Structures are given as C-alpha cells and as structure tokens.
Amino acid sequence: MRNHFIKDYIGPPFDWFGPIHLILLGITLVLSLLILLWKPACRGRVLFRYSVAALLVVNSIAWHWWKASVGEWTIQEMLPLHLSGILVWLVPVMLIIRSRSLFVFAFYAGIPGTLLALLFPQLGIYNFPHFRVLSFFIAHILLLIAPLYMIRTEGMRPVWKEVWAVFGIMVAYTALMMVMNPLLGSNYLFVNSYPEVSETPFLWRWPWYVIMEAFGALGSMILLYLPFGFRDLIRLKHV
C-alpha cells in the first residue's frame, strides 16, 4: 500500500494505450455519454454540481499535500498557473454559481487541453494505482464532464464570438506568463523554453512550437463550436 504514495515508485511506468490506459479512457467515455444522456431533477442537479466541485477541490488539495510531503512542492512548479491548475479552481466556482463566463472558458480552453492530457498523460515513473495517477485522472475526467453537464443539464451553449474572446484571453495569458516565468524562475505553460521532461513528441522546437500550439488551440476551439454552428444553420433553414 505504501508504494502507492511514495515518491520513488517501484514498478513499471504508465503505458500509453496499454490495458490500464484503455480502461481509464473507456471510463471517461462512458461517464461523458452518461452526462450527455442524463436529465436529473432539480435536487439531483444541485447534488451533482456540489459533489463534483467538492471532489475537484479535495483532489487538488490532496495533490498539493502529496507534493509537499515528498519534498517536491515549489513555486516554480506548483502554483495554479498551468491551464489545468487554473481550471481545477475555476470549474468548482462555475458549478456552484452556474457562471456562464466560466463555462465558456472551461469549454473552449479546458476541453482541448483536457482531452490531450487524457490521451497522452505525463505521469513519469508512476503507474496505476499510485496516487499520482489516480489524482491526475480524477481531475481531468471531472474537468471534461463538468462543461458537458452545463450544456446538457443547465442549458448553456457556446456561441461563435466567444471563440475569439477565449482565444484572446489565452494569448494575453500566454504573454503574461512569458513575463512572469523569468521572475519566478519557472516555465508555466512551457512558453519560455522547451519542456525538459516530456513524453509527447514535439514536431517544432522552441519558440516555434508555442506559435503552432496557439494555432492548434484556435483550431480546436473552432471544432468544438462546429456542432452548435451546424445545428443553428439547420434551424435557420427550417424557419
């Protein structure tokens, strides 16, 4: 049991698209489909929103506690300045107060990065059921299903102009991190240098991959909007 929490994990590392990864991706898919099919009563909505919000917060606190307990908590890596680090605190607020602005950000900025993280998790030496792996998948699965819930159950939906609003926010935040990282001695968003440890192959070196990721982010936001845009076009044709 102790091996599931220690820093120097003993065992094989996480295997991309191996049996465990495929099972976890399958769980993610099933939960996402259930959220899209579920239409709870008012009491069920409140219970779901507060439960997911609480689980995200508790999981994040546990993650910070674990990093501190193994001597790896530093301001250079653990401040909530990566996108996922921001979302694990914003999404609970979104769920509790049903904020449309936070929903738009979680939808356009959160879903693409969350899907990428789930497909190519950067887990280093750790493997299931180590706490590092469980915490990672709990956080990212909840970050994925939360905006889906807001669409299906709370009736929220993105619009075209919000693609550009969120993209502008992300560009401005990236620029801010380029200034803040040298001051902190950090590399949040990996915008100031190439990631020192990354299992994901980069086709472009720094700084060009930052520009390519910006175009990729914009493209993914447009793809997320397309189902809603097509539905609007179909409705207009039948008016």
> What is the C-alpha radius of gyration for the chain, rounded to an integer number of angstroms?
19
Element (H, E) at 150: helix 131-152
Question: Half-sphere exposure (CA, 13 Å, Cβ side) for 53?
Answer: 16
Encoded tokens for 207: 């700084």
Residue 238 pLDDT class (50, 70, 90 cuts) = low
Q: Using an 8 Å Cβ cutoff, are 139 and 88 in contact?
A: yes
Quote the pLDDT of residue 208: 73
Distance CA 171, CA 161 (A): 16
Distance CA 161, CA 183 (A): 34
Quote the pLDDT of residue 221: 93
Tokens 């993914």 belong to 220
The predicted-structure confidence for 53-97, as pLDDT tens digits, reads as follows 999 999 999 999 999 999 989 998 899 999 999 999 999 999 999
Q: For the whole model, what pTM was predicted? A: 0.89
Encoded tokens for 117: 């993280």
Quote the pLDDT of residue 192: 78
Tokens 């207009």 belong to 236
Helix, strand, or coil (residue 223): helix
